[in-house]
Structure 1
Amino acid sequence: MTDAELLKQCHTVLPGHRPRSPAEMFAAMAAWCEANDVAHDVYGDGELIQQFEQKVADILGFESAVFCITGTMTQVTALRLACEDRGSTLAALHPTSHILVHERSNYQLLGHFHALMAGDRHRPFTSADLAAIPDKLGAVALEIPMREIGGQAPSWDELEAIKQHCRERGAHLHMDGARLWEAATAYGRTPKEIAAGFDSVYVSLYKGIGGLGGAMLAGSRKFTARAAEWFRREGGNVIHRSPYVIAAAMQFDERLAAMPSYFRRTEWLYEVLRDFPSIRVNPAQPQANMLHLHLPVSCERALEIRNDVARDHKTWLFGRAFHGALPDTSVIELYVGDNLLDMADADVRQALALLASAL
C-alpha cells in the first residue's frame, strides 16, 4: 500500500492542513470566481492577478510584486539579477538552503551564480558568519524560518545585524520567505517589519497558504519588471496564472489570520512533548508553527512505525522523515496547521503516545 493510500484511510492526521480533493478545491474556486466576477488574466495581464500582486507587495512593504509559476525559478533568477547589479557572481547561502538541497544544482548548471556556504548547517547563520567571508558578495539569501533545521530563525537582534552588515557591505539581501507568514507571530512583528531592510523577498502561494502552487517575488518596481522578463525567457510565461492566483487569493486573508492560532497550538504542543522524553524537539522553543522531532530509531524504522500506526490505528503521525546525524536516529517534521488546531487535546496526546510506545 502506498503512503497516499495509507494516509487516505486515516481519520486522524497530525501535520498540516486538511487537503482538499480536486473536486472540493475546484468547486470552491468556481464559487469564489462567481461571487467576485473573476476573469482570466492573459500572460499576467488581468485585474485579479495585478491587484493580488500589489496586495502582497503592500503587505511586505515593497513597491511591486510579480507572480512566478515556481519558487525554484523565482529565487535563482532573483539572485542572478542581484549579483549582476552588484558586480559579483558570488551569493552566500546557508548550507541547508533549498537552492542547495532540493534544486538539483540548477544555479550552477544554468550559470546563474556561484554559491558560497555561510555558517553552520545546524544553526541560522549570523552577521559574523557573513563577515568571515572575505570575498565580494553580490547577494546573500536568508531563509526565514529555516525548514531543514526545524523552523529556526535568527533572533530579532541578529536579523537586524545581518541587514546592517549587508547594507554596509553593498550586498543584495534576499529573503527566502516560503514560510515567512509562519514566523511573524514568533517574532511579534508584522511581515513588513521583518522584510524591512531586505532588497527582495520570495513568498509561496501554496505552502502555508494552501493554494495550488506559485510564488511571488517582491522588490522594487524595476527589479520585479526585470525578473518578470526573465521568467518569460525561462519558460514561466503561462497564458493563464488565474488558477494559481484564485486558489491562493480566495483563502489568503483567512490563512494569515490563522497563523497566530497555529503558533499558540505549537507552544501547547511543546508542553505536551515534555511528557515524552524519548522524543527530542528542535528548536528548543518554537520559532514558527513547525518543528522537528528527533527519534532514537533509524529512518527506515521511523517510517515503519508511521505506517504501522496508520494501518492499525488510522492515525497519520507525520509525512517526512530523514536520517539523523547519529546511527539509528532519525528526524521527522511536523507542520502545525488546521489538523492539529482542530484536534482534541486528548487525541493529540494519544497519537504521541502511540509514537512513543513504538519507539
Structure 2
Amino acid sequence: MTDAELLKLCHTVLPGHRAKTPAEMFSSMAAWCEANDVAHDVYGNGELIQQFEQKIASLLGYEAAVFCISGTMAQVTALRLACEDRGSRLAALHPTSHIFVHEKSNYQLLDHFDALQVGDRHRPFTAADLAVIPDRLGAVGLELPMREIGGQVPAWDELEAIKAHCRSRNVHLHMDGARLWEAAAGYKHSAKEIASGFDSAYVSLYKGIGGLGGAMLAGTERFVARAAEWFRRQGGNVIHRSPYVVAAAMQFDQRLAEMPLYFRRTERLYETLRDYPLIKVNPARPQANMLHLHLPVSRERALAIRNEIARDHKVWLFGRAAHGALSDTSLVELYVGDNLARMPDHDLRAALDLLVAAMENPAWVTITPSP
C-alpha cells in the first residue's frame, strides 16, 4: 500500500489538520464564494485578492503584499531584489534554509544571488554569527520557526539583536515566515511585532492555514511591485488566483485564532512525552506547535513501524522520517494541529505505547517500508 492508502485507513492521525477530500474542500469553497459573492480575479486584479493582500500586509505591518503561486518563487525573488538594492549579491542563510534543502539549487542555477551558509546547522544563528562575516552582505534570510531543526526560533532578545545588526549594516533582512503564525503563538508576540524590523516577509497560504497552495510576499509598495513584475517574468502570472485565495481566506481567521490552542496542546504533548524516555524531543521545550521526535531506530525501521501500526491498528503516527546523525537512529516531525488538539490524552498515549513497544521489540516489525 502507498502512504496515502495507509493514511486513509486510519481513524486516529497524530500530525497536522484533518485532511479534507477534494469534494469537501471544493464544496466549502463554493459555499463561501456564494455567501460572499466572490468573482474571479483576472491576473491578480479583483476585489477579493486585493483585499486579502492588504489584510496580510496590515497584519504584518507592511505597506503592501502580493500573491505568489509558490513560496519557492517568492523567496528567491525577494532575496534577489534585496541584494540588487544593497549592491551585493551575497545573501546569508542558515544551513537548513528551505532554499538550500528543498529548492534544487534554484537560486544558483537561475542566477538570483550568491548564498553564504551561516551558523550551526543544529541551532538558529545569532547576531554574533552575522557579525564575524567579513564580507558585505546584501541580505540575510531568517526562517521563523526553523522547520528542519524542529521548529526552533531565536530567543526574543536575540531576534531583536539580529534585526539591529542588519539595520546598522544596511543589510536587507528577509523573513521566511512559512509558519510565522505558529511562531507568534510560541513567542507570545503578534505577527506584526515579530515582523517589525524585517524589510520583507513571505507567508504561506497552505501550511498551517490549510489552503490549497500559494504564498504572500510583503514589504514596501515599491519592493512588492518589483517582485510582482519578477513573478510574471518567471511564469507566475496565472490568470485566476481566486481558488488559492478563497481556500485560504475562508478559514484564515479561524486558523489564526486557533494557533494559541495548538501551542497549548504542544506544551501538554511535551509533558506526556516525559513518560516515554525512549523518544527524545527537539527542541527541549516548545517554541512553536511543531517538534521533532528522535527515535532509536533506523529510518527504514521507523517507516516500517509506522506502516504496520497504520495497517493493524488504524493509527497514523507521523509522515516523513529522516536519517539521524547516528547510525540506527531517525527523526520524525510532528505538527500539532486539529488532530492532536482534539485528541483525548488516552488516545495519544495508546499511540505512543504502540510506537515504543515496536521500537523495543526488533521482531515486531515484519513489513517492508515504502521508499
Q: What is the percentage of aligned positions where both structures have the same residue?
A: 79
The equivalent residue for 2:13 is: 13
The equivalent residue for 2:177 is: 177
The equivalent residue for 1:288 is: 288
- Hey, what's the Cα distance between the residues in 1 that align with 2:78 and 2:135? 20
- Hey, what's the Cα distance between the residues in 2 that align with 1:354 and 1:262? 24
The equivalent residue for 1:230 is: 230
Residue type of the alignment partner of 1:298 = S
Cα drift, residue 112 of structure 1: 0.3
SS in 2 for 1:250: helix
What whole-Å deviation, never above 9, does each CA across 1:210-260 have from its counterpart, x for those lacking one?
A: 000000000000000000000000000000000000000000000000000
- Hey, what's the Cα distance between the residues in 2 that align with 1:54 and 1:211? 18
Matched, 1:313 2:313: yes
Matched, 1:83 2:83: yes
Matched, 1:22 2:22: yes
Residue type of the alignment partner of 2:331 = V
What whole-Å deviation, never above 9, does each CA across 1:61-90 have from its counterpart, x for those lacking one?
A: 000000000000000000000000000000
- Hey, what's the Cα distance between the residues in 1 that align with 2:182 and 2:61? 17
Unaligned runs of 5+ in 2: 360-371
Residue type of the alignment partner of 1:14 = L
The equivalent residue for 1:216 is: 216
- Hey, what's the Cα distance between the residues in 1 that align with 2:127 and 2:343? 40
Cα drift, residue 174 of structure 1: 0.1
SS in 1 for 2:216: strand
What whole-Å deviation, never above 9, does each CA across 1:156-185 have from its counterpart, x for those lacking one?
A: 000000000000011000000000000111
SS in 2 for 1:358: helix
SS in 2 for 1:67: strand
Cα drift, residue 132 of structure 1: 1.4
SS in 1 for 2:253: helix
Unaligned runs of 5+ in 1: none
Matched, 1:57 2:57: yes
The equivalent residue for 1:194 is: 194
Residue type of the alignment partner of 2:187 = Y
- Hey, what's the Cα distance between the residues in 1 that align with 2:262 and 2:320? 19
The equivalent residue for 2:39 is: 39
Cα drift, residue 357 of structure 1: 1.0
- Hey, what's the Cα distance between the residues in 1 that align with 2:128 and 2:104? 29
Cα drift, residue 320 of structure 1: 1.2
Question: What aligned pairs does 1:101-180 form with structure 2 within 5 A after superposition?
Answer: 101-180=101-180
The list of structure 1 runs, each at least 4 consecutive aligned residues, that deviate by more than 6 angstroms after superposition, is none
The equivalent residue for 2:323 is: 323
SS in 2 for 1:292: strand
- Hey, what's the Cα distance between the residues in 1 that align with 2:320 and 2:25? 24
What whole-Å deviation, never above 9, does each CA across 1:106-132 have from its counterpart, x for those lacking one?
A: 000000000000100000000000111
Residue type of the alignment partner of 1:319 = G
The equivalent residue for 1:346 is: 346
SS in 2 for 1:352: helix
Report the number of matched residues.
359
Please report the RMSD computed on the Cα atoms of aligned residues, expressed in angstroms. 0.4
- Hey, what's the Cα distance between the residues in 2 that align with 1:311 and 1:71? 35
The equivalent residue for 1:357 is: 357
- Hey, what's the Cα distance between the residues in 1 that align with 2:204 and 2:335? 15
- Hey, what's the Cα distance between the residues in 2 that align with 1:320 and 1:129? 31
What whole-Å deviation, never above 9, does each CA across 1:267-292 have from its counterpart, x for those lacking one?
A: 00000000000000000000000000
- Hey, what's the Cα distance between the residues in 1 that align with 2:344 and 2:276? 18
The equivalent residue for 1:74 is: 74
- Hey, what's the Cα distance between the residues in 2 that align with 1:40 and 1:188? 37
- Hey, what's the Cα distance between the residues in 1 that align with 2:353 and 2:61? 44
Residue type of the alignment partner of 2:77 = T
